[in-house]
Amino acid sequence: MPSPFSRLFSPETRRRLGHRVEYEALRAITAVLRSMGIDRASAFMGRAWRWLAPLNKRHARADAHLAASLPHLTAAERAKILDEMWDNLGRTAAETVLLPQLIRETERMSWDFSGVDLEKARKGAVFVSLHTGNWEVMALPARELGFSLQAIYKPLTNPLVETWFADLRRSLYGAGLTRLDRGLALKIRTLARSGAMVAVIGDNRDDTHVVIDFFGRPAGAQPFPAMLARRFGLPIYVGRVIRTEGAHFRIEVQEVEVPASDDVQADILELTVRIHAQFEKWISQKPGQWMWAQRKWL
């Protein structure tokens, strides 16, 4: 039997009300976290997520992924890694809503790109990262070095929260934020020709995924970053954020060679494999800082 609430309001009205409630709750939580300051808010959310997350079904999924990917680990070792993972994700959640303040405090970040030739990136490049440490600060060094960044991202379903988060991130991306949609190819071509650096999170699996080997098992990998680099003749860089202590980070970057054979599709697949080989190496080094709960494997 329909509830009185459902009889009073149409599905569209209920959807809008749900979005409004979610948005106002987020603003209220943000106000509390801001009053605590970055370090206390980060630590508080890390503890809260460590306590609450094991009650969620995503914890079991993450444990299963970890056990299959790193089978040499004992149950106790996996538990320790998962505890670190939830702590990192909770901290990242707090730091994200405090992002404008966080990126002003540049002393919290360290980076050294001395072994990477970034000068050719000033004519346009692809920058791909993964969900490690606090990935939201990945763009900061490029901004500080004078690059014009354009972020490609998948929008949230709640338009109020989407607009709010976009405003938080906007100062990191001088060339703006572009939604992942059907008109993206034309926009990217224009951006590439203008010399912008296109930033993408590349460890998700989406509807366009190709199948690769990842930690010894078939996994879905989005080919989009590799496609941009190969089709537009752009250099591609992969980067990660390492949480060193509390709300402090180190950022590392590697260039990946773009294959250039007569078979464009084969090159895109090969480049996707190369990107994920670097991801796998980094995740193995710091397994507690990657998001194991995502649906990566097939």
Report the pLDDT value the prediction gives residue 147, as an integer from 0 to 100.
Answer: 83
The encoded tokens of residue 5 equal: 């609430």
**What DSSP character marks residue 157?**
S
pLDDT tens, 127-179?
999 999 999 999 888 888 888 888 888 888 899 999 998 888 888 887 788 87
Report the pLDDT value the prediction gives residue 114, as an integer from 0 to 100.
Answer: 77
Q: What mean pLDDT is reported for the chain? A: 90
How far apart are the C-alpha atoms of 26 and 30, rounded to whole Å? 6
E strand or H helix at 126, and its extent? strand 125-129
| Percent of the chain residues topping a pLDDT of 70 | 93
How far apart are the C-alpha atoms of 192 and 196, rounded to whole Å? 6
How far apart are the C-alpha atoms of 53 and 119, rounded to whole Å? 43
CA 183, 188, 193, 195 torsion: positive or negative? Answer: positive
12 or 59, greater pLDDT = 59
* Cα angle 219, 225, 228; round to 5: 140
pLDDT tens, 206-246?
888 999 999 999 999 999 999 989 988 999 999 999 999 99
Contact yes or no for 243/285 (Cβ under 8 A)? no
* Cα angle 265, 269, 275; round to 5: 140
Report the pLDDT value the prediction gives residue 193, as an integer from 0 to 100.
Answer: 67
How far apart are the C-alpha atoms of 106 and 111, rounded to whole Å? 11
Structural domain boundaries in the chain: 4-99, 109-289
Q: Which residues contact 36 (CB under 8 A, 6 or more apart)?
A: 44
How far apart are the C-alpha atoms of 208 and 226, rounded to whole Å? 12
Beta partners for residue 242, in sequence order: 250
Q: Which residues contact 177 (CB under 8 A, 6 or more apart)?
A: 150, 151, 153, 166, 169, 170
| Percent of the chain residues topping a pLDDT of 90 | 67
The encoded tokens of residue 10 equal: 């149409």
Token pair 């954020």 is found at 241
Contact yes or no for 92/112 (Cβ under 8 A)? no
Farthest CA pair distance, the chain: 66
